[in-house]
Copies of this chain bind each other. A is one copy, B any other.
């Protein structure tokens, strides 16, 4: 490709960067050795022609699925094996960089990230020895079957039953109603031959709640459903990527007694139910999936989208601020800076926070290996809140920067639609965000009770028990770039909202309203409380990282500005609760609006450096707008020319409907020209 004017513009932008890209990339990856590891993985995967993704945007969902399976079965059973990467082990060092390189929502991913770890988590040693090995080698293909057609989040109400038949020492799996049909499991529709089925355990007419059962659902030779099994695809979904979601129901399907996963509970031959070990740990593997997914779909998605939009905004010219002057780069417009740079700040804040959360989880696992069970409540609270807050911010961010790319942001060749479509479901799966927020709210309300009783708090909620400040003490523009001032604002907001809501709930309860109604009519506020709490959590984690990490002054400077921008952006977005109790006054709000613009204009020179630091190779971005060289228009045209939609000059399939009318037109025009 030629060195177009656009390429020159990006080269000029790179000249402006004030910090070392290499240093920033190492910080983002978590150290130089991690950057090296990542780059070596990327090299292996991206240089393998069989891993090259085709343009799935022109395919039907079925074709997308075929393409995904072909690519990923090669990856897991051949390439990864050759490289000795074991992705079924959550401690595999390469796993961290896998979503970045091959994408998250890929075929067969859930076999490795949900089915296998669940077997490992819930099975006895013998069960794991058998099934884990079969699964790891892709000799069986499994899915995790929990959600039902009529039941999502509320697991206790799942209707599928597994009834113990003592005489035959078997369990009988059964779906009593249409609503009890398993619905959604990934890999189930057309691929899986085994399912880990969550079902109500019933022994002699008594229910013992949810347990996990391994059920063979398809014949291993013919791939047809086993007797009594109904299975199929649930049809096409909004998100692309060839996922294979399915439905599954049972008509008295028998499995051997040995197929109940029995690490935490088992049924003896005589039908006695025996509890073993701490069932609280049962769901720890789900925490990992939640964090992995938040990072892979939400945070990485926003980073990629920012990379694309920032580079494009520097090469796109449109309009001018001064008449008769040539058109300017659209990044010069403050409205564009507000869209792009605020989201880059969000991406950085979330990046370092999710890395911190991953470290907490890894610490938890290491402690567990030593027999020490860490603070599971805090782990669930933090991961649920982070998941809900980050997926929401990420989807909003991706869509914001996508829209900032104008019409070209709609083209699949921009790479942006795929990022949006992959991020959107993350607000729902692995725990609907509203449910996650309300789960966190219960914890925060318990914290509020402790605050009222003067008890101290620890961990991520410690600030809530600090003495409440009445007024923000900042009064100059410079004050509002001070991260401690901003942290105090964000913490005050969450604290004040929580205590106000908790006080009101106590008040109406004291007036005789029942607890359930009190909870219900406060729930919208409670969701907002958790959102405010999470913003301060992300901000303070980012700030802690900057303060606790050695970095050169230019890096520290730009990170502090990003951190300040993230804080101010969110305060300015909605300062209602800071004004309500007089913590901020009107002049302070106005000052903050101006500081925000100052920060945007200051960070503008680093806009390309900041996204270059994410170090996404062109093959990963897969974007005509966001490629490293900035050669946007040539790429767009090349891509369009090569689109399957241009394979034939005349689309006979379409033209045949138009032809009779157009030939009439031809004849009329001919006659006209003869007149």
Q: Which residues of A are in contact with B by a Cβ distance under 8 Å?
A: 55, 57-63, 65-66, 69-70, 73, 77, 130, 134, 137-141, 147, 149-154, 157, 178-179, 181, 183-184, 189-191, 193, 220-225, 232-239, 247, 316-319, 321-322, 327, 332-335, 338, 399, 403, 406-407, 409-413, 416-417, 420-421, 424-425, 427-429, 432-434, 438, 500, 516-517, 519-521, 523-525, 527, 572-576, 579-582, 586, 589-590, 593, 596-597, 601, 633-634, 636-637, 639-641, 643-646, 649-651, 653-655, 657-659, 661-666, 668-669, 672
Contact = CB atoms under 8 A, between A and B. Distances in A.
A580 B579 contact: yes
B633 A668 contact: no
A661 B73 contact: yes
Given A236-B58, A668-B134, A220 B662 contact: yes
Contacts of A657: 66, 69-70, 73
Given A523-B335, A637-B149, A134 B669 contact: yes
A18 to B, nearest CB: 22
Contacts of A601: 521
A119 B570 CA distance: 48
Q: Which 9 A-B pairs have the closest CB atoms?
A: A139-B665, A220-B666, A238-B417, A235-B643, A579-B579, A580-B586, A321-B516, A233-B645, A57-B236
Contacts of A59: 60
Specify the main secondary structure of chain A where it touches its partner.
Answer: helix
Given A338-B524, A650-B223, A410 B327 contact: no
Contacts of A403: 427-428, 432-433
Given A191-B658, A657-B69, A668-B134, A410 B237 contact: yes
Contact of A645 (B153, B235, B597): B235
B317 A150 contact: yes
Contacts of A58: 60-62, 235-236
B661 A137 contact: yes
Contact of A574 (B134, B576, B672): B576
Contacts of A55: 236
Contact of A130 (B334, B653, B672): B672
Nearest to A514: B322
A608 to B, nearest CB: 20
A668 B220 CA distance: 11
A618 B12 CA distance: 56
B640 A247 contact: yes
B178 A645 contact: no
A194 B134 CA distance: 62
B225 A649 contact: yes
B662 A141 contact: yes
A536 to B, nearest CB: 18
A236 B576 CA distance: 43
Contacts of A220: 662-663, 665-666, 669
Given A190-B655, A236-B411, 20 more contacts: A55-B236, A58-B236, A59-B60, A134-B669, A138-B662, A138-B665, A140-B665, A147-B407, A151-B318, A189-B645, A190-B651, A220-B665, A225-B649, A233-B645, A235-B640, A237-B412, A238-B410, A238-B411, A333-B523, A579-B580
A134 B664 CA distance: 10
A139 B670 CA distance: 12
27 contacts: A57-B61, A58-B61, A60-B60, A62-B651, A65-B651, A134-B665, A138-B662, A138-B665, A141-B662, A149-B637, A153-B318, A153-B406, A154-B319, A154-B327, A221-B666, A232-B640, A234-B636, A238-B412, A321-B516, A333-B520, A333-B523, A334-B523, A334-B524, A521-B601, A572-B576, A581-B586, A582-B586
Given A236-B412, A410-B239, A576-B576, A154 B66 contact: no
Nearest to A322: B516
Interface centre among A69, A407, A665, A668 (most CB of B within 10 A): A407
A645 B410 CA distance: 27
A142 to B, nearest CB: 11
Nearest to A153: B318
A169 to B, nearest CB: 15
Contacts of A316: 150
A190 B654 contact: yes
A595 to B, nearest CB: 12
Contacts of A521: 334, 597, 601
**For A427, A576, A651, A653, which residue has the most chain B Cβ atoms within 10 angstroms?**
A576
Contacts of A317: 150
A393 B548 CA distance: 42
Nearest to A249: B637
Contacts of A411: 234-238
Task: Select the residue from A139, A316, A338 with max chain B CB neighbours within 10 A.
Answer: A139
